[in-house]
Amino acid sequence: MEYNFLEIEKKWQKYWLDHKIFKTENDQIKPRYYVLNMFPYPSAQGLHVGHIESYTATDIMSRFKRMQGYNVLHPMGWDAFGLPAEQYALQTGNDPREFTYQNIGNFKRQVIEAGIGIDWDREFATADPEYFKWTQFIFTKLYEHGLAERKDVEVNWCEALGTVLANDEIEIKDGMMVSERGKYPVAKKAMKQWVLKITNYAERLLNDLDLLDWPEHIKEMQRNWIGKSVGAKVNFKVANSDHSFDVFTTRPDTLFGVSYCVLAPEHPLVLEITSMDEYETVKNYIEQTKQKTDLDRGDLNKDKSGVFTGAFAINPVNNKKVPIWIADYVLASYGTGAVMAVPQHDTRDFEFANKYGLDFIRVIDSEDDGCFTGDGIHINSDFINGMNNEESIETVINYLEDNGFGKKEINYRLRDWVFSRQRYWGEPFPVAFDEEGNTITLDLEELPLELPKMFNIKPSGTGESPLANAYEWVNFKKDGKHYRRETNTMPQLAGSSWYHMGYVLKTLIGFIPLNTEEAKKELDKWLPVDLYIGGAEHAVGHLLYSRFWHKFLYDLGMVSSVEPFTKLINQGMILGDDNTKMSKSRGNVVNPDDVISKYGADTLRLYEMFMGPLEQDKPWSTEAIDGAKRFLDRVWRMYFLPITDEVEALEFTYHQTVKKVTEDYQKQAFNTAIAQMMIFVNDVYRKKTFSRAQAIGFLKLLNPIAPHITEELYQTVFNKKDPLTYQEWPSFDETKLILDEVEVVVQVNGKLRDRMKASLDLSNDEVKKMALGLENVVKHLEDKEIVKIIIIPNKLVNIVIKG
């Protein structure tokens, strides 16, 4: 009767693979269901238990929907390009490709051993040439449509790594920017880079968030990152010079309250307008600012710093001179890189002015002596005196436009996507430059452009990618002309920006060409993804960029859905048993291989789903995983109880369980579904029997969570040849959920002493009388004084005694 999970799990994993049980059907009649995980980067560490949590959740949904009659697509692939593999190659002298694909093999083994049902015919890695051929093709289309350009931009440059880093690849250590990987110094540097004009899609990316069933905090993060503002662009002249600068403001009505202006340290005017007396101070401050991230500089909670340039600006509405400062909280990449400061009516300006002793000018009437940011009647403001905010904003904008001082404008915080990396291990750009510096894109027939085999992939030290050293690859002739290839590579996020489409197009013999009607037909059939599960850390990276690429391909007519992912769930983090984030340094990392070898994959899956709501962070508990194993052992032994054709005994509990589990799976409330199944198992043991229909139905309910044990019981106990995977999901009968009587628990001083059947909604007096007459209760009341009797209708009687 013992359940040999090691032997049985291997048996079913082999069966599923050999018979391609999870292969997506080419079925035009069944409704479709596309469920997807954010694919992993195949590191040397292998999968962790957090991966298994996410993959089990999607596997439950794919198995559940398959049994409900859906044609399910549940694929898996690998985010294979990127900096970690390149750094490993540099440190060890190994080939990053060999290292990456070796890790993929290990990851795939772990996914299979966790019982995750994947259509492996659709597997690919972003480093597969047959895949990145189409990543390169999409880039050529972006270029052709004016959405990709090469220009000088300020980037996060890491000398030690020899590459540009994205903001999410940087940390702050001792007030300085360092790389997340290796903790090397990072500084701002102007370099010629490819950028993608995601800003052209800002309004659509913002508005279409309303179409999505995503966590509200993720949508809010994207709204804030896009940062739409409606206001005015105002031109300020620099006193005693021919220079001027523009300021974007959402409060042009406060122009009469401007007491100083602030430029970003990187603003091109700064050193030109700075006085000789302030020049060294300003220059030093600019160098200090280069060590800070934009995120750190924009932190509203940080103490503000700045220096005076010695120059003054002219306020266009009253011709007053105001000092020009520079401060690191103003970013050149946001707005115009300059702000007008109204300290009496802006909290950030208020703090800065207080710190440096700058003037305060009240222009909105209020009883508040401090900084007032609300609506009110304007004062000290010439032609808008007596107006409220809304009326005065419109009036001031009209004045600015009539006099050539400014205009109404919509602004976004979103910046264009810096798309170049000075690395070897990434997608090569499908572009080249002729001898005059003109850019050409490669034709589809020339793709994929693969990386050359290189033994030395060290950074060049000049800011160029290691590919610059591959002379024969870089320099080539075409149509009698000499060309030089782009030596930068694409960022890791390139491959993940359209991979949800890649699975749809992947076949055993390659990819259906993205630019064909056949591809359009397949993409229209499967997109958008019905359920997408992954980490919240990708909110303004992958999740934003993939929406951008998807919308671009929608504009080209390659897809018909305006969004890639309909519903998004962010799984919570699995913490160590010390309630902190798992890390090697803390010694609290749990390896899923160890758990599976000791407890089995079904136990790991059940435990992780029972820890709590999928979205919450949860600490690991060895004691609790023992409990999950004991529950599955009870399920195994339960199928050696008498199984009859009699159904009446457990009718209510069974139909209640089918209803509850079905509804909970539908909303991904897996922990409460498991709790209900535990109730059913307890009731079966209490009755010491259950019916054949109930026994098979329960296996179907548990199968998505614990597929190995349920398949084994279905085959051996009921002599079934076809697996549970494609059996019909059980249904419940509402009429069986109407109770005439209930079981009431009877306690004495909170300890269980008996149970009794009572008619539904029996009066408290009648329930009390029945409880006091129970033999085991009477025994515990002998020579005792009853203090009170607590009754929870239809559930519980607790008799409180003393003595």
Q: Mark residue 146 as left, alpha or beta (left: phi above 0; alpha: psi -120 to 50; beta: remaining).
A: left
Query: Average of pLDDT values for 279-307?
Result: 85
Give me the CATH code for the 739-802 domain, please.
Answer: 3.10.20.590
Instruction: Name the residue type at position 526.
Output: W
Instruction: Tell me the C-alpha distance between 219 and 201, whole Å.
Output: 16
pLDDT, tens digit, 9 for 90 and up, residues 617-674: 999 998 899 999 999 999 999 999 999 987 677 899 999 999 999 999 999 999 999 9
pLDDT score recorded for residue 461:
66
Q: What is the pLDDT of residues 86-97, one digit of tens each?
A: 888 888 888 899
Distance CA 652, CA 733 (A): 9
Q: Which of 111, 47, 109, 102 is nearest to 80 (CA)?
A: 102
Proportion of the chain above pLDDT 70, given as a percent: 99
What does the pLDDT read at residue 734?
Answer: 87
Average pLDDT on 571-596 reads 89
Q: Which residues are annotated as a binding site for ATP?
A: 584
Which residue ranges make up the annotated binding site?
584
Q: Are 611 and 618 in contact (CB under 8 A)?
A: yes
- Tell me what the pLDDT averaged over the chain comes to: 93
Residue ranges of domains in the chain:
137-207+417-485, 228-411, 592-736, 739-802
pLDDT at 517 over 70: yes
According to the model, what pLDDT value does residue 300 have?
65
User: Residue 453: pLDDT above 90?
Assistant: yes
What is the CATH architecture of 228-411?
Alpha-Beta Complex (3.90)
The 10s digit of each residue's pLDDT in 15-70 is 999 999 999 988 889 999 999 999 999 988 889 999 999 999 999 999 999 999 99
Fold of 592-736: Isoleucyl-tRNA Synthetase; Domain 1 (1.10.730)
Q: What percent of the chain has pLDDT above 90? A: 79
785-792: strand order across its sheet: 751-759, 741-748, 796-802, 785-792
Q: What's the whole-number mean pLDDT along residues 582-588?
A: 82
| Phi, psi at 525, each rounded to 5° | -70, -35
Fill in the amino acid letter for 698: F
- Cβ atoms within 10 Å of 214's Cβ, excluding its own: 21
Question: How many CB atoms sit inside 10 A of residue 376's CB?
Answer: 17
Q: What is the dihedral of CA 151, 154, 159, 161, to 10 degrees?
A: -70
Give the per-residue pLDDT at 165: 83
Predicted pLDDT of residue 736: 81
Residue 230 CB burial class (10 angstroms; 0-12, 13-18, ≥19): exposed
pLDDT in tens, 91-136: 888 889 999 999 999 999 999 999 999 999 999 999 999 999 999 9
The alpha-helical segments, DSSP class H, found in 68-187 are 83-92, 96-113, 129-144
Phi, psi values for residue 602, rounded to 5° = -60, -40
Query: pLDDT by residue (tens digit) across 384-441?
Result: 999 999 999 999 999 999 999 999 999 998 999 999 998 999 999 999 999 999 999 9
